[in-house]
Each structure stands twice: as structure tokens, then as C-alpha cells.
Structure 1
């Protein structure tokens, strides 16, 4: 199935007049934000909320207070559950599902805004969503890609959008990938749909 066909399938799935909560998750640089925005563009703006989960990632300075038993000399990355404010994220998702409005968390690259609980479609995008119980969502989509593509995408995004130095991205890349393989990858098994982007080829797999 091509990306266009998948987006068409999702449009039909989400256009039945019912309330839906969709999570889009995966490792850094997997293409989550791009795919979420593409999905958002084909849905009526008055029917859908997009909750980005990057603001629920704990500050890197605080993450230095803990260490990984498997990689004791590495800084703890977002591939571990301890790096995320999961209770706060679950609280905000549940509030929206119950029809309540929320104010999103302000970030330098994502200004705070109000999400309206009256909108029936809720898209949750980001790494944090992967650690939540799958029962919270009626559809889960995981995105994965190869190590080289991840690095190139992170270099492009983090230097231009997040103001980080290329040297920092390169230095942290190995730790991120190792911790992804050890701690995060297994969560992808809970996805209903997996979008694999390797060597510029996109393969979509429906697990159920």
C-alpha cells in the first residue's frame, strides 16, 4: 500500500462520525511529524486535534540524574519510559476524550494553544505515545526507518528547527539508536499499522 492509499484509508476510517483516538509513534527521525501533518491536511480542521508529545519529554538535565543499567556511560535518551511525563500525557488525552479542552505545553518550536475536546478526532504524535497502554487508542501507527535515514533527518530537523549543533546530534546518535533497539523497539509490536521507510522505500504493514 502506498502512502497515498494509506492516507485515503485513514480518511475513510476517521470520517464515520464517531470519536477516534489515533497514535502515531516511533523513534526519533522516523517521520512521525511529517505523516501526522499529512493526515491532518486531509481531515476537516473543525473535526480534529493534533496533540504533539515532545513537550512531555523530560528535560535533558533532569535525565542526567538517572542512568541505564545496560548503558551506564550513556546519557538517558527519549527511548526510555523514564524520560517521559506519561501520567500528564495520559491525563490530557483522557480529558480530550471526555470532551474537555486542554491548553498544550509551550515549547520554543511549538507555541501553546487550546485543543477543543468537542472535536471527535484526536491524533497523538510523538515518541511518548509509544509507552502508553494501547487500549487508550483505537488505532496505533508506528513509523520506523534505518539508522542512516534517522541520522540525516535528525541533523536536518535539530539544527534548523531546534537550534542544536550538528556535533551534538552526531555525538548522541549512537546512544539514541542503541537505546531505541534495547528499550523502544518492542513497543512497536502493539501497532496496528507499521510504516517502514528504509532505503527510500515505504512499506506499509497491517498487523491485524
Structure 2
């Protein structure tokens, strides 16, 4: 189905009695933080209202088979892109799919599973924004863009702890993937409504253990929340907004959320954003901002709150 027809069909479904789900895409390279961001959103929305889908399950080959191939899991030829497109279209109009399953811990393809779309469908993975038709399925699109040295450290830590690799094997695989990352993964950033970068602030000498700050590029492709009131209530140590030139030279709003800010100041900002969501609950869910090991990141929590705003607004 052409992407324009898909957008029209979704609009018709939104006007129908049985409303279509709200679709959010979170794209990014391996170990960029997609699953952590997704998990907090799903827990905040609740399992009865949200469905999460990892499009990396659409790999054509298991880990052992890929060893003999001239490309890696990042290459579209290593994935069932056509089936991925078909399933995203079905989910976008509220239909269930029989999704393949790839076990990332063992590297094996396992039994497929039925996925039922709920009010909100959060899709994360390497290639959810690879084609026009995929992009047409989403209400909101996000690209995670950490500095490469940080992503490398995250990947080494995850793959050695959870997936049985040595550090040298992870570094060798990163080098092997670099060309495909540049060709197929990073170009998705240009199609995202929001580009998120978790990183230290340049020029600051924060002590070890200081949470990473976040920079969110808010492109005018979707309507973002009114932040003037939020900024007025928060200290500039916690959050500020400025005009920024994107990679293509176009101006965008850049929201900076500072990891070094005292937690109580960040929480003032979080409560101000939460008040715009129109939710009856007393305050933001405690599940927001959680990272591996039980630590908490206020910049992550604020990022997740802004995405919740977009999900709930699209749902209205």
C-alpha cells in the first residue's frame, strides 16, 4: 500500500467507531537505549492500554547463520522488511498480527506470537523508519542518537553481561557494522519528529555517577507541548529551550534537560509537564526514569513524559 493511502486509511480508521491505536516509533542503533525508553512508557501507560513491538524480531537469519553472510543484522537484506511493513500497517489500523520472535539472548529465532494492538503501540528497533510506508504508520517518531563512544560502552556492557560475548568480540562486531550503520540506521534520524541525545554536557567536569543530560530536537513536523509555563516553573539548571540549527541547516527547538540539576528542581519540571497531560493521577509514575541497576535518571523521566504527552494528545 502506498504511504499516502496508508495515511488516509489511518485517518478514516480514527473517525470510525472502533478507534485505531496511537503508533509511536523509537529508532536507533544497537544499544542506543531504545528498550529502556520503551519500557518506561509501557509501564506508565499500563499493559492493558499499551503494546510494545520490537521490529528486530523480523531478522531473516539467526546469529549462527549470520556468521557466514556478507552483511549484518543492520542491513535491510537481513530482515523481512516487506513483512515488517505489512504488520505495521495492520497494527496501525487496529488489526492483530502473528509476529516472528528473535531471542536476543540466545540469537535464535523462536515460536511466533500473536500481537494484539491496544490503545497505544510502541514500536522500537533498528529499522522502524526505514521506508516511507513504515513512517506513514506512525503518529510520532523518535530517533535515539547518543555519542558513539557512549553507545559503544553501553553495547559492551550489555552484550558481555546478557548475550555471552567478550569485549573484543563486541568491538569487532561494531567495526563490522559501521558501514551499514552509516547507510541504513543513522539516516532515519532525518525522518524523526524528535531526535534524542543522552550525553554529558561539553565543558563540564561533573563527578562520576552524574546522570547523562538529554538534548531533544523538537522538529515542527508535529505539534509539541507549550513549554513556556514549564520553563517558568523550572530552574534553568534543570531545563532550558533554545533555537538550534539541525544537521540540514534548518532551525529547530532544542530542549536541554540537565543531568547535574538537583532532583527536586527536575521534579518541579516533571510535575509541570504532568499537569498538561490531563491525567487524574496525583503525579508522574515512579516507573519513569528507571535505568538498569535500579538507578534513576531525571532527564530520561522528562523525555518519557514528553513522549507520553504526544501519545495522549494523539489519542484524543
Instruction: Establish whether TM, by shorter chain, passes 0.5.
Output: yes
1:196 aligned to 2:197?
Answer: yes
The CA deviation at 1:160 is: 2.2
Aligned to 2:39: 37
SS in 2 for 1:36: helix
Which has the higher mean CA deviation after the structures are superposed, 23-32 or 155-164?
Answer: 155-164
Following superposition, the deviation at residue 202 of structure 1 comes to: 1.3
Q: Report the CA distance between 1:154 and its aligned residue.
A: 0.9
Please give the secondary structure, in 1, of the residue aligned with 2:165: coil
Of 76, 84, 108, the match for 2:79: 84
SS at match of 2:102: coil
Match of 1:21 in 2: 23
SS in 2 for 1:104: strand
Mapped partners of 2:193, 2:170: distance in 1: 31
Shift of 1:99: 2.6
Q: Secondary structure at the match of 1:136?
A: coil
Corresponding position: 1:170 with 2:182:
no
Aligned residues of 1:84 and 1:128 also touching (Cα < 8 A): no
Give the count of matched residue pairs. Answer: 182
Residue 132 (structure 1) aligns with: 131
User: 1:18 offset after TM fit, Å?
Assistant: 6.2
Distance of 1:63 and 1:109 partners within structure 2: 15
Residue equivalent to 1:104: 99
Under a length normalisation based on structure 2, what TM-score does the superposition of the two structures give? 0.52
Specify whether residues 109 and 82 from structure 1 end up closer, same or farther in structure 2 by C-alpha distance, changes over 3 A only.
closer
Higher relative contact order (CA 8 A, sep 6+): 1
Q: Give the structure with higher Rg (CA).
A: 2
Aligned to 1:148: 149
Contact 1:77 / 1:83 at 8 angstroms: preserved in 2?
A: yes
Distance apart, 1:166 and its partner CA: 2.5
Q: Which moved more, 1:37-46 or 1:88-97?
A: 88-97
3-state DSSP of counterpart to 1:123: strand
CA distance in 2, matches of 1:191, 1:127: 13
Change (3 A) 1:77 1:107: closer
Please tell me whether the aligned partners of residues 197 and 203 of structure 1 are also in contact (alpha carbons under 8 angstroms): yes
Structure 2 runs not aligned, ≥5 long: 1-18, 201-211, 221-316
Give CA-to-partner distance per residue, 1:104-142, whole Å, 9 cap, x none: 32333487543213x121111101213132212111000
Q: CA deviation at 1:24?
A: 0.3
Does the aligned pair in 2 maintain the 1:29–1:149 contact within 8 Å?
no
Partner of 1:180: 181
Asked whether the 8 Å contact 1:194–1:204 carries over to 2, the reply is yes
- TM-score in terms of structure 1 length: 0.77
Residue by residue, what CA displacement relative to the aligned partner does 1:13-53 show, whole Å, maximum 9, x if unpaired?
xxxx8631110001112111110111111113211110111
Give the Å deviation of 1:151: 1.2
Match of 2:215, SS state, is strand
Q: Unaligned regions of 5+ residues in structure 1, if any? A: 1-16, 67-75
Cα distance in structure 2, aligned partners of 1:92 and 1:150: 29
